[in-house]
Amino acid sequence: MTRQCMEGRRFGDIDTLQAGTRAWSTDINNTQRGVDWQMKVDDARCKLTSIYPKIKF
């Protein structure tokens, strides 16, 4: 948010800051973004064992 909304700007009062951040968050939330998954879950479990520990049942 700092880089996208506030960088290089000065806000004279709290109302201006709130209006700017509200407009930024509305725009960000309405923008559709895709996800580019780089690997399958099984591959991730093999390569990232510390993050995906084996679960024993």
The residue ranges of every structural domain in the chain are: 2-47
pLDDT at 53 over 80: no
What does pTM read for this prediction? Answer: 0.51
- CA 26, 28, 29, 31 torsion-angle sign: positive
Q: What is the pLDDT of residue 41?
A: 79
Q: What is the pLDDT of residue 34?
A: 82
- 12-47 pLDDT, tens digit per residue, is 999 999 999 999 999 989 988 888 888 887 887 788
The tokens for 55 are 């679960």
The tokens for 36 are 């580019």
